Structure 1
Amino acid sequence: MPAFTDPFRRPRTRSLLAVGSVAAGALFLAACGDGASSEGAGSDGATPAPAALHSHIHGLGVDPEDGRLYVATHEGIFTPDGTGSPRLVGDSRDDFMGFTVAGPKTFLASGHPAPGSDQPADHGLIKSTDAGKSWKTASLKGQADFHSLDHAKGVIYGYDSTRGLLRVSEDGTHWQNRARLQALDFAVDPEDPSKVVATTADGVARSTDGGASFGPGEGPGMEYLSWATPDSLFGVDFTGALSVSSDGGATWKKTATVPGGQPQALTAVDERHILVATQDGIYESRDAGKSFTKRLSVANGDHH
């Protein structure tokens, strides 16, 4: 079957469902200077710039055990170190596309092996139980490319971008195929996995049968969705406008505009704690989007 593409994708948008290829204009991720260590200052007394890397950002997550931020990128999983600089977790330089924190130190992901690997092009579903230090194949190795993952009540949902297909598993091993749709991102009600929403060219489409079928897209167009609580579904559009829905996506209320331009990823940890990656930074809000603090800086740079 030919690879699935999103016909409505904006050329400038790097999304969770975008193909994970290296291209000019890749994002340059660097830590903010706040609180950086002064060790190793140059002969002129200036503090060296914090460590940085060139990589696309595909996902964000927070470990509920220690509150640590994790950033899924084209070249591995990163987390801020003691100085606030991004540090590679483990030694994997794989391309992590779909990414979600499923529990304490428990991550689910998908993507592609690093260049030069002899592994199949698509990871299928992989799982880490040590906060991203190591990964094991759970299922569908070489058979699925999940560019978006979510979970609720023990049920795992994955959007297989190569087929434009929503797939569901209760154990991470055996999968059921659900609806085919042209979606950019999706989210599941954390208390009722029968309720699923997806971003489409026509707006947010809703399902009440676990993604077996979806109604037409309607309402504001969104890039990314994250469902924190049953009455706190967050969405961000391509301008960075953040909105919240208290009725499962039927109606929306704009709460703020996230700094930094177009979004790259969105994760709502709870009804007040939100993380958004945009063109110039990863921003965090702990008041439901009323205010944001930059956690990491992002600037455009060439990637070769």
Structure 2
Amino acid sequence: MKPRRRLRPVTALTTALLATVLTACSSSGSDTSATSSPSDGSSISVSHIHGLGIDPADQRLYVATHEGVIAVAADGTATRVGDKADYMGFTVIGARTFLGSGHPAEGSGGHANRGLIESTDSGKTWKTLSLAGKTDFHALKYAHDTVYGYDSTSGILRVSKNRTTWDTRARLAALDIAVSPTDPDTVLATTEQGIARSTNGGKTFAGGAGPVLAFLSWPKPDTLYGIDTAGVLNRSTDGGATWTKTGTVPGGQPQALTAVDAQRVLAATQNGVYESRDGGKTFTEQLPVTTGEGH
């Protein structure tokens, strides 16, 4: 089996303005870590964060990290719910149902790139759906009963209706993608030139324009959120044509962004996971992260 690769050159080396965000995914040595106190009294090491979501089944926050998926209860109790694999692309698509990608836990065997994987028990167990050994999705979005995935191994956008066979769309250097809630053909991507837009389902993209953002989340037709490399949260009500700053997420460089609805926003930065209930004006810490060596 080939050595695990944390970051692919199509994404990292061609996106200079986003390098400070991207390099946080590249370390395989010591990790940024967080210490929490789960119910069994032990501590959980939370490395670099790759994804966030709310499970509608129990309304818990789920955090996809370098070392497993962490569930955070309303009282702040954090528990690892499954293995200690590295979950890169991650999204909650329904009750107890998550999609992911990434790399297996150290020493567990299996393909270095896990392709598209699925959990139907809130992250406790996962099964491979497709592209095992071939693809490491660094961004996954689910809209219009379709999976949109940015394949970091090739820099290609891939799209699937059935989660097993894939259409190959455009090749571009991007960090994150977003899909319009009303139009499956409108896809946005964050690039070093700004936001690249596709109006044909990701087959082609116009050149980047507007603000340089790291991550995007598009929960409602008139609500598109984007966070820049300094943690400044912006909102667009016209699909990305214009943007307004709403606030700044504590903790510096962003690592993940998910807007649950127009008012509820989840963001991970270098030192924690934060939640806003007022559209990004104010944030409260949900899971602390203490920066260590290696990131």
With the length of structure 2 as denominator, give the TM-score of the two structures: 0.90
Report what 1:23 is aligned to: 29
Mapped contact 2:64–2:90 kept (Cα < 8 A): yes
Report what 1:53 is aligned to: 45
Q: Radius of gyration: which is bigger?
A: 1
CA distance in 2: counterparts of 1:223 and 1:82, whole angstroms: 28
Does residue 217 in structure 1 map to residue 208 in structure 2? yes
Distance of aligned partners of 1:259 and 1:19 in 2 relative to their CA distance in 1, 3 Å threshold: closer
- The residue type equivalent to 1:126 in the other structure is I
Q: What's the Cα RMSD here? A: 2.2
Q: Which of 52, 69, 75 is 2:61 aligned to? A: 69
Q: Which of 165, 171, 183 is 2:162 aligned to? A: 171
- The residue type equivalent to 1:103 in the other structure is G
**Paired residues for 1:58-207 under 5 Å:** 58-81=50-73, 84-90=76-82, 92-207=83-198
| 2:34 partner SS | strand
Name whichever structure is richer in helix by fraction: 2
- The residue type equivalent to 1:76 in the other structure is G
Mapped contact 2:44–2:80 kept (Cα < 8 A): no
Does residue 234 in structure 1 map to residue 225 in structure 2? yes
Does residue 208 in structure 1 map to residue 199 in structure 2? yes
- The residue type equivalent to 2:28 in the other structure is V
Mapped contact 1:206–1:249 kept (Cα < 8 A): no
Mapped contact 1:124–1:139 kept (Cα < 8 A): yes
CA distance in 2: counterparts of 1:303 and 1:218, whole angstroms: 33
Q: Shift in Å at residue 5 of structure 1?
A: 3.6
How much identity, in percent, do the aligned residues show?
54
**Paired residues for 1:281-292 under 5 Å:** 281-292=272-283
Q: Which of 240, 244, 260 is 1:249 aligned to? A: 240
Distance of aligned partners of 1:184 and 1:66 in 2 relative to their CA distance in 1, 3 Å threshold: same
CA distance in 2: counterparts of 1:203 and 1:12, whole angstroms: 16
CA distance in 1: counterparts of 2:216 and 2:256, whole angstroms: 9
Unaligned runs of 5+ in 1: 41-49
Report what 1:8 is aligned to: 15
Report which stretch shifted further, 121-130 or 185-194.
185-194
- The residue type equivalent to 2:69 in the other structure is I
Q: Shift in Å at residue 51 of structure 1?
A: 2.7
CA distance in 2: counterparts of 1:303 and 1:238, whole angstroms: 19
Mapped contact 1:151–1:190 kept (Cα < 8 A): no
Unaligned runs of 5+ in 2: 1-7
| 1:156 partner SS | strand
With the length of structure 1 as denominator, give the TM-score of the two structures: 0.88
Q: Shift in Å at residue 202 of structure 1?
A: 0.4
- The residue type equivalent to 2:151 in the other structure is D
Mapped contact 2:15–2:174 kept (Cα < 8 A): no
Mapped contact 1:58–1:264 kept (Cα < 8 A): yes
Q: Shift in Å at residue 12 of structure 1?
A: 3.3
Write the deviation string for residues 149-168 of structure 1: whole angstroms up to 9, x where unpaired. Answer: 00101010000001000000
Mapped contact 1:54–1:301 kept (Cα < 8 A): no
Mapped contact 1:228–1:269 kept (Cα < 8 A): yes
